[in-house]
Amino acid sequence: MREACNATARQVLAIPVDEVATRLLVDRVAEALLDLQRAANALVLVVAPSKETPDISASRDWLFTPDLLPAAVNGLRAMAIVLATELFWVQTGWAGGQSVVTFAAVSVTVFSPNADLAYRSAVGYSTGTILAAVLAVFVNFAILPAQESFAGLSLTLTCILLPLGALAAGPWQKVVTAGLVINFLAILLPTNPPVYSDLGQFLNSAFAVVVGTIATAAAMRLLPPLSPAWRARRLVALTARDLCAMAVAARWPSRTEWISRVCWRLQAMPAQATPEQLSQLESALSVGEALIYLRNLRELGCGRPGFSQRVAVRLHCAARPGRDLGRDAQPRGGRVDRRRTHASCRISRCGEGIAVALETLGKPMITDLNLVGVYVAPFVPMAIASALITLVLLRAADRFGITRHVWHPSLFNSAVYIIVLSLVVIGSVGG
């Protein structure tokens, strides 16, 4: 059945068509056959796991990051806390400074991805660390000196760690109990042979661990993460920018890659995101799929005269807000459905943008430069290139004595730069 569905889909896609509606129907039939093939492959995976066909359509965009700004803020916070603790260690010459740097760096790395709960988690973890330090001091100088055998040490630690582990597994203050359980042994540090006489050294190491966790909480307070509303707006804006860039880019992602990107951003949306923002991402997902499909469809029609123009015209007709959208915005029972009206207007604008983008496919356009997820205006490299060219021209003019006949050198240099920049921009647009 899998082979039959695959072969039939290939035959359907090979059917020559000239009309847009027929092309859409043929492609949808092929997609239905391929879905049947995947369903049959899933049944084979359940019944005979060794005979399934591997899925080669998996997304290759697994390194995609929904938004680099929160990660950059977390990295800046980690760098700041490490530099601050190291500077404190160097200035004070404290013997426990190394432990402060270590625990601060580990704690800020662990709690930074929690976003809105990062500060609360760091405070709870610091509280658990303080309790762990008090408990470790009590156990090390009040209970362990009376235990002379390994069995006594093991029984003592079991009687302490077993209730703490049960408490950490419960619903009450998980972060506090986690800090208590994790840092208890880190502060206690049983040795062989045991040493119970050096109270100052023990308190010094325990205080270093506590200071490291408190420094993490302070860093979370001074450099807080981005607010949920800001992150939600950025995710929507980045998706819209990717959609616009995909409409004019020379190489666009596949359908699977686009779905993967939008799904990553939907997953990264904070819980405080509004339904409108979620619907905007879902609309961008559908519009991007349609855009990828129509671009592929236009490439198929490049060899047929008038086919690409008919695709653009049909999309214009489907995208322009007409009577249907106006009818959706009519009052219902005396009330105006503002949400549906706003969504309809947004869908119409998206459709019109896709139609315009389809009409400009194949034409040279200036697009933003994507540098590791950060979009840079194309005017920036043009300005830099124009400055270099102007510098070379002015050096040549100075060498041949042309600048001696210039009345105002600064004004002359500015005019040359404007002329060179204009020629670079015109050449980029026209080339």
Do both 395 and 357 map to the same domain? no
Q: Judge whether 371 lies within some domain.
A: no
Do both 73 and 215 map to the same domain? yes
Domain span holding position 311: 228-365
Do both 302 and 238 map to the same domain? yes
Q: Judge whether 61 lies within some domain.
A: no
- Helix (H) / strand (E) containing 210: helix 199-222
Do both 174 and 133 map to the same domain? yes
Question: In the structure encoding, which two tokens stand for residue 120, read together?
Answer: 């609360």
Write the secondary structure of 240-274 as one string of H (helix), E (strand) and C (coil): HHHHHHHHHCCCCCCHHHHHHHHHHHHHHCCCCCC
Q: Judge whether 43 lies within some domain.
A: yes
Do both 279 and 307 map to the same domain? yes
Local structure of residue 332 (DSSP, 8 states):
B
Do both 18 and 121 map to the same domain? no
Amino acid found at 77: R
Do both 73 and 212 map to the same domain? yes
Q: Taking a C-beta distance cutoff of 8 angstroms, is the pair 55, 329 a contact?
A: no
Q: What share of the chain is helix, strand, coil (3-state, %, to 5)?
A: 75, 0, 25
Q: Judge whether 296 lies within some domain.
A: yes
Do both 37 and 166 map to the same domain? no
What is the pLDDT, as a whole number, of residue 389? Answer: 92
Last residue of a domain, one of 323, 338, 365: 365
Q: Judge whether 16 lies within some domain.
A: yes
User: How many whole angstroms separate alpha carbon 80 and alpha carbon 224?
Assistant: 13
Q: Residue 28, Cβ neighbours under 10 Å: how many?
A: 11
| Strand ranges in 276-352 using DSSP code E only, listed in sequence order | none
Question: In the structure encoding, which two tokens stand for residue 41, read together?
Answer: 């492959």
Shortest CA distance to 398 belongs to which of 418, 379, 413? 413
Question: In the structure encoding, which two tokens stand for residue 347, read together?
Answer: 């869908």
Q: Taking a C-beta distance cutoff of 8 angstroms, is the pair 58, 256 a contact?
A: yes
Q: Taking a C-beta distance cutoff of 8 angstroms, is the pair 307, 18 a contact?
A: yes
Last residue of a domain, one of 206, 222, 238: 222
What is the pLDDT, as a whole number, of residue 65? Answer: 80
Give me the helix-helix angle, 275-300 and 228-248, nearest 10°. Answer: 10
Vertex 423 angle, CA 421 and 426, to 5° = 110
Do both 216 and 89 map to the same domain? yes
Q: Judge whether 59 lies within some domain.
A: no
What is the pLDDT, as a whole number, of residue 130? Answer: 92
Last residue of a domain, one of 318, 343, 365: 365
Q: Judge whether 57 lies within some domain.
A: no
Q: Judge whether 357 lies within some domain.
A: yes
- Helix (H) / strand (E) containing 374: strand 374-376
Do both 125 and 23 map to the same domain? no
Do both 205 and 258 map to the same domain? no
Residues contacting residue 240 through CB under 8 Å, at least 6 positions apart: 280, 284
Tens place of pLDDT per residue across the chain (431 aa): 777 777 887 777 677 766 656 766 777 777 788 778 778 777 777 777 666 565 544 445 556 788 888 888 888 888 999 999 988 888 888 888 888 899 999 888 888 888 888 888 899 999 999 999 999 888 888 888 887 788 888 888 888 888 888 877 777 778 888 888 888 888 888 777 777 667 888 888 889 999 999 999 998 888 888 888 888 988 998 888 888 777 666 667 777 788 888 888 888 888 888 888 888 888 888 888 877 777 766 555 544 444 445 544 444 444 343 433 333 334 444 444 444 444 445 444 555 555 544 444 444 445 666 666 666 777 788 888 899 999 999 888 888 888 888 878 888 888 888 889 888 887 776 54
Domain count of the fold of the chain? 4
Do both 121 and 266 map to the same domain? no
